[in-house]
Amino acid sequence: MRILKETELRDIVYGATLLGAGGGGSPENGLQVLESTFKIAKEVKMVDPEEVPNYSMLCVVAGMGAPEALLKRGWEDEDIPALKALEAALGKKMDFIIAVETGGFNSITPIHAAVASGVPIVDGDGVGRAIPQLEMTMFSVHNLPIAPVTVADPYGNYAVLYPINPQMAEKMARGITVEFGMKAGLACHPMTGWQMKKAVIAKTYTMAEKVGRAIREAKEKGKDPVEAVVKVTGGWKLAQGKVKKKEVETKGGFDYGKVYVGDIRVDYKNENMIAWKGNKPIAIAPDLICWLSTDGHPLTNADIKEGLEVAVIGIKADERWRKPEGLAVFRPVLAELGYTGEYIPIEKLLK
């Protein structure tokens, strides 16, 4: 077990924002949730997945909704009633909490719920990046039951859902989130320790902390934060320059957009899914396409503005996403954005 204090947790917010690949929530919301966390306790207990006993109980806690709504109205600790509703539905208290994805907000929400509940957070999550839909996790790939799913607002309204699969869970939970004003606390995927161990992408908090620390130290020493991130992630700088144009439209509760930087175009559905140079892809999800301002601020697609000086950084996805069952998860989203070709690993595309 590790004890995380303020410096490590702030590094995690910034590192997880970058690794969210354009999604996973704004760092502003992550820092706000951290302030709420510090009102309960000054430190966080984190365990490695292997330290979790096989027959202990844990679940996913997250925030759901539109990034714009979160930025405007802030988070009101909706994670706590969602967790309590799930525990009441199961008649069991959770021994650990786990994150659904990596992101500036969705890596921190489960930490807040864990601290409020007096239990440790697991150093891992279901994806190792951020994703637009609930069914796009390793928990789903490994057929871990998602129900019951609880959705809560801060005013005492909550729903307990019994969807038959993650696709239906996504539709039901998102529909209720819309009625709750585009933001809600979410708890789902109650699981045992042994189930978690077969599906988890491990050490995602440790990785986020390393990335955040690299950015912070580069800024403190007057070095290039972009180079620091490329080095610590083993990634590639795909482009650097001003954001020339950003096009975005919201439909069905998702943000769809295109961002143009230098000679590169990035297409996204909440998260960045494909980067183009001319008519050739240079990075394809599940590989990560990440934003960092040249002065060292990790950005989400909600934070990207025309005229900002940014770097586009490409990073290899966890190897488990590069297997057929992992790639199948991303194919429908890529097709929605107009790409029906094969997945080619980033290291081959950049050769």
The radius of gyration computed from the CA coordinates of the chain, to the nearest angstrom, equals 19
Q: What is the dihedral of CA 22, 23, 26, 27, to 10 degrees?
A: -70
pTM of the predicted structure, to 2 decimals: 0.96
C-alpha–C-alpha distance, residues 131 and 160, integer Å: 23
Model pLDDT, residue 191: 98
Question: Rounded distance, CA 78 to CA 84, Å?
Answer: 10
**Structure tokens, 275:** 């980067």
Q: Residue 66 — very low, low, confident or very high, per pLDDT cuts 50/70/90?
A: confident
| All residues at 6 or more sequence positions from 9 whose CB lies less than 8 Å from its CB, including other chains | 34, 37, 44, 108, 111
Q: Which residue has the tokens 């038959």?
A: 164
Least confident range of 199-203, 253-257, 334-338: 253-257
Structure tokens at 173: 């939970």
* pLDDT tens digit sequence for 233-290: 999 999 999 999 999 998 877 889 999 999 999 999 999 999 999 999 999 999 999 9
Query: Model confidence at 107, in pLDDT bands (50, 70, 90)?
Result: very high
- For residues 80-107, average pLDDT: 98
> Residue-wise over 49-58: b if at least 16 C-beta within 10 A, else e?
beebeeeebb
According to DSSP, the β-strands at 254-261 and 158-161 are: unpaired
* Mean pLDDT confidence for 210-239: 98
Residue 40 burial (C-beta neighbours within 10 Å; 0-12, 13-18, 19+):
middle
